Amino acid sequence: MRLGDLDDSSLVAKRIGEVALVTCAAPAYVKKHGLPATLDDLQAHLAVNFMVEQRRQIMPWRFRGNGKIIIVKMRSGIVVDNAEALLYCALAGIGMVQGLRPALQRYIDSGRLMEVLPDVPVEPKTVSVLFPDRRHLSPNVRVFVEWVSALFQEKRH
């Protein structure tokens, strides 16, 4: 399974859904640096940025506004390449993060993180299943792809 845009590949990709993202920060970060009120305010803030290891690129933050995608390149307080480090740095107040809502929601609910710009929609991540060749797909893989696709469809309704 793969999150996000897919690079050119010899693999077959089946898009099965998307997962919501959220922008948030620890209360300690907000107390020290303030809470941004607009996308433009983000330029005065630091982020815990995520680097895609294969491409060696920092992932920009993507928002939806006025019917288009708005890309924001955040200044780094630190750059990480795994989700656990992203979470721990956010909780430590090193910078704001943009991450998967299902992974961060319990920290928002507990008050350990605060949602930033809650009225500005974040572009969700595409979820795809990758496999080598559609013609030679094993029955087990085919059943798995159908099952996980159905799970994402249930979540949409």
81-90 per-position pLDDT tens digit: 999 999 999 9
Can you give the pTM of this predicted structure? 0.82
β-sheet bridge partners, residue 126: 18
pLDDT in tens, 118-155: 999 999 988 888 877 666 777 887 788 788 888 877 76
For residue 157, the model assigns a pLDDT of 45
Using CB atoms within 10 A of its CB, is residue 23 exposed (0-12), middle (13-18) or buried (19+)?
buried
Average pLDDT taken over every residue of the chain: 88
Q: How many CA atoms lie within 13 A of 145 on its CB side?
A: 17
d(CA 94, CA 101): 19
Q: Which residues lie across from 15 on neighbouring strands?
A: 128
The pLDDT tens digits of the residues spanning 32-49 come to 999 999 999 999 999 999
Q: Residue 7: pLDDT band by 50, 70, 90 thresholds? A: low
Cβ-contact 25, 97 below 8 angstroms? yes
Whether residue 9 has pLDDT greater than 70: no
Q: What are the residue boundaries of the structural domains of the chain, listed by start? A: 26-98
In the CATH hierarchy, which fold is given to the domain comprising 26-98? D-Maltodextrin-Binding Protein; domain 2 (3.40.190)
